[in-house]
Amino acid sequence: MSAAAPLLSARGVSKHYGVHTGCEDVSLDIWPGEVVGIVGESGSGKTTLLNCLSTRLVPTSGEIEYQRRDGQSVNLFRLTEGERRLLARTEWGVVHQNPHQGLRMNVSAGANVAERLMAVGMRHYGRLREEAGHWMGRVELDAGRMDESPETFSGGMLQRLQIARNLAIGPRLLFMDEPTGGLDVSVQARLLDLLRTLVQDLGVAALLVTHDLGVARLLAQRLVVMKDGRVIESGLTDQVLDDPQQPYTQLLVASVLPV
Amino acid sequence: MKPVESVGAAARPAGMSDTAVTGTPHLMEGYNFAYLDEQTKRMVRRSILKAVAIPGHQVPFGSREMPLAYGWGTGGIQVTASILGPDDVLKVIDQGADDTTNAVSIRRLFERTAGVATTDHTEDATIIQTRHRVPEKPLRERQILVYQVPIPEPLRFVEPRELETRRLHALNEYDLMHLKLYEDIAKHGHIATTYDYPVLVHGRYLMSPSPIPKFDNPKMHRNPALQLFGAGREKRIYAVPPYTEVRSLDFEDHPFEIQHWEQQCEICGSGESFLDEVILDDHGRRMFVCSDTDYCRTRRDTAAAGQAAASPRRAAPEEA
């Protein structure tokens, strides 16, 4: 896929919850293969924006264009619900902060990966197992535990299982909401390392929401800073973090505790 | 009867069998024909027509209070009552048997309120109401099979939210059902679902065949008879019109299979019917017999007649 056009292009996206503002007039491009980070303090509208872009929330106003695998450009909210869901399950992945939201805890680990493949029409049990084993291996999970319940997995393992499940269909765009939140630092570091390798190897684009500037620096090539629902600064990650222009971004960068 | 299917008028044979009741022997006073009032029957028939038009799709209907508890066939009775005409011949089976409590009470209800003829013989019946079995003898055109359904939603145990299951039906997203079959194989090495085995009707709607054994699933496929399903508590009616494709879900490398027995029926010697295991005493003695009593009796009678005519030795049971 040539990078002549952005994969996803949002223009003037706003989401209001009654009188409250989720996000306001956000415009944003994600290009094929790049990782865009959204940072900002809690309540700044990061997750609302991510949910709007991944069509899990309907924005109050604004347009979102998406370049499909077949090269056709579609306006996400002019598609029917069925077409939107088809697009989401064939081209996207969503990694939640809480793996319980992104996994089915009452079926086996292997079934969690296989489900995404069955959703795109794979109906061969042997091949489903093979694929599930392969992707569990890619995220450094023991494929021998494929038939075990995710209830027996640790937090870090659950997060990796969630990533495996999302990668199985060969997505073009990953939405990640605080993928390392709630994990201890050594587990975080390994997960970040893994994510970085996978994103690079597979050339998948990603939108990463995080409040952790360290995570953003490690994974994202471009950074968007949000405050009170608006984008206040954006640019290359190193640029934004090393030479923040806005007072709020300066505060954010200065607030990171040195180790 | 007329608005739905003009079944039955010609079908009643002259000399009916042992249990047949002919004419209007002792109709109960003060009840409308076939218990339900005409307005209700019209409403139910409208739902049936819609169900026939969209094979496998669950159509809501205004289920009425019936003179027996939910779970005893209130849905099936309302469907039967709505399509029953005075010339119909009714057969009612429960787990394949004509003589169990549920079957006897439902048959008696319609004998008393509609005065219709009843029969045990599958081939003589124009309407067969059933709980949990499809008769072994092949059905023909102009027969109607009415199933009693406890839980019409095949996705209910994988997705408890009604709003969501309706959405999944609307968008034709049925991979959740395959997820259940996947788990079956992962846990048991084979698809362990043995009854209420989910089917895809006419290549579109996922449907619960009601708790019939999966042994009966292939009989639903391209069946010449009309198949109607009534769920009283859940207030849903759905249908499989004659000659409609009914495919049981499976995996390419784990194809759908029906149950097989090493035993044969100890009464009629059949190796092709669905067998019940009957415990005989406290010492573990047991026997296997056909679950379909009419099928079993017909085979036994035919064999007895053949024996009487030919040799005194019992015919060797056929190979399983």
CATH code, domain with B52: 3.40.50.11310
State how beta strands A173-177 and A205-209 pair. parallel
Whether B265 and B281 share a structural domain: yes
**Are B182 and A111 an interchain contact pair (Cβ–Cβ within 8 Å)?**
yes
How far apart CA B228 and CA B144 sit, in angstroms, is 7
The CA distances from residue A215 to A35, A53, A66, A185, A237, in Å, are 12, 21, 26, 11, 11
pLDDT for B315 beyond 80: no
Boundary (domain end) residue, out of B231, B254, B277: B254
Confirm whether B319 is domain-assigned: no
> Per the CB < 8 Å rule, is A114 touching B251?
no
Asked whether residue A75 carries a pLDDT value surpassing 60, the answer given is yes
Q: Are residues B270 and B143 in the same domain?
A: no
The confidence band for B218, taking pLDDT boundaries of 50, 70 and 90, is: very high
In this complex, do A110 and B186 lie within 8 Å of one another by their Cβ atoms? yes
Domain-embedded: residue B91: yes
Whether the CB-CB separation of A128 and B182 falls below 8 Å is answered with yes
Q: Are residues B199 and B276 in the same domain?
A: no
pLDDT category at B14 given cuts 50, 70, 90 is very low
Active site residue B115: no
- Of all residues in chain B, what percent carry a pLDDT higher than 90? 82
**Predicted TM-score (pTM) of this structure:** 0.85
Query: Which fold, A17-104+171-254?
Result: Rossmann fold (3.40.50)
Residues B49 and B123 in one domain: yes
Confidence of residue B161 (pLDDT cuts 50, 70, 90): very high
Q: Flag whether B44 is in a domain.
A: yes
Last residue of a domain, one of B214, B234, B254: B254
Domain contains B201 = yes
* Cβ-defined contact of A108 to B186 (cutoff 8 Å): yes
pLDDT tens, B77-118?
Answer: 999 999 999 999 999 999 999 999 999 999 999 999 999 999
- Is B296 among the residues known to form the active site? yes
Are B42 and B60 in the same domain?
yes
Contact A166, A116 (CB under 8 A): yes
pLDDT at B17 over 70: no
Q: Write the residue in B175, B176, B253 that is nearest to A125 by C-beta.
A: B253
**B253–A108 CB contact, under 8 Å:** no
pLDDT recorded at residue B153: 97
Asked whether residue B290 falls in the same domain as residue B188, the answer is no
CA B96-B99-B104 angle, to 5 degrees, is 110
Average pLDDT of the residues in B3-32: 53
What are the sequence ranges of the domains in chain A? Answer: 17-104+171-254
User: Which amino acid, A40?
Assistant: G
Helix then strand count (H, E) for chain A reads 10, 10
Annotated catalytic residue: which of B75, B96, B232, B268?
B268
Q: A147, B187: Cβ pair inside 8 Å?
A: yes
**pLDDT at position B319, please?**
45
Clarify whether residues B288 and B245 are in a common domain: no
Q: Give the residue numbers spanning the domain of B264.
A: 260-312
Tell me the per-residue pLDDT of B221-262, one tens digit each, with 9 for 90 and over.
999 999 999 999 999 999 999 999 999 999 999 999 999 999
Largest interatomic CA distance in chain A: 57
- On the question of pLDDT at B45 being above 80, the answer is yes
CB contact under 8 A, A115 and B251: no
Is there a single domain that holds both residue B204 and residue B284?
no
Specify the pLDDT at position A42: 87
Among B71, B73, B296, B306, the active-site one is B296
Whether the predicted pLDDT of A103 surpasses 60: yes
Q: Which of B238, B254, B270 is the last residue of a domain?
A: B254
B172 vs A contacts (CB less than 8 Å): 82
Per the prediction, chain B carries an average pLDDT of: 90
Residues in A closer than 8 angstroms to B185, CB to CB, are 125
A128 vs B contacts (CB less than 8 Å): 182, 251
Please list, residue by residue across A148-164, b when 16 or more beta carbons sit within 10 angstroms of its beta carbon and e when fewer do.
eebeebeebbbbbbbbb
What's the pLDDT score for residue B311? 60
Question: Is pLDDT above 60 for B25?
Answer: no
Total beta-carbon pairs less than 8 A apart between chain A and chain B:
47
Please report whether residue B194 resides in a domain.
yes
* pLDDT higher than 60, residue A125: yes
pLDDT band at A3 (very low <50, low <70, confident <90, very high): low
Whether residues B71 and B22 share a domain: the answer is yes
pLDDT at B312: 52
pLDDT in tens, B139-150: 999 999 999 999
Q: What percent of chain A has pLDDT over 70?
A: 98
Q: In what order do the strands lie in the sheet with B117-118?
A: B59-60, B236-240, B226-231, B144-148, B127-131, B89-94, B117-118
The pLDDT value given to residue B255: 96
Q: At CB < 8 Å, which residues of chain A contact B?
A: 81-82, 85, 104, 107-108, 110-111, 114-115, 118-119, 123-126, 128, 146-147
Lowest mean pLDDT segment, chosen from B161-165, B298-302, B313-317? B313-317
Chain B residues touching A118 at Cβ < 8 A:
175, 178-179, 182
One domain for residues B159 and B70:
yes
Chain segment A160-199, per-residue pLDDT in tens: 999 999 999 999 999 999 998 878 888 888 888 888 888 8
Catalytic site residue from B8, B56, B73, B85: B56
Task: Please say if B284 is a catalytic residue.
Answer: no
* Residue A1 near residue A91 (C-beta atoms within 8 A): no
Taking an 8 Å Cβ-Cβ cutoff, which residues of chain B contact chain A?
Answer: 170-173, 175-176, 178-179, 182-183, 185-187, 251-254
Q: Using one digit for the tens of pLDDT, what is the confidence trace for A138-153?
A: 999 999 999 999 999 9
B219 and B286 together in one domain: no
One domain, residues B74 and B205? yes
The verdict on a CB contact (< 8 Å) between A85 and B254 is no
What are A6-24's pLDDT values in tens digits? 999 999 999 999 999 999 9
Domains contained in chain B, number: 2
Q: Is residue B320 part of a domain?
A: no
Instruction: Supply the pLDDT for residue A240.
Output: 94
Average the pLDDT over A71-87 and give the result.
93
Residue range B270-294: mean pLDDT, rounded: 95
Percent of chain A with pLDDT over 90: 80
B8, B73, B85, B265: the active-site residue: B265
Q: Taking CB atoms and an 8 Å cutoff, what residues of chain B touch A111?
A: 179, 182-183, 186
Q: Quote the pLDDT of residue A102.
A: 93
| B306 noted as active-site residue | no
Position B1 scores a pLDDT of: 43
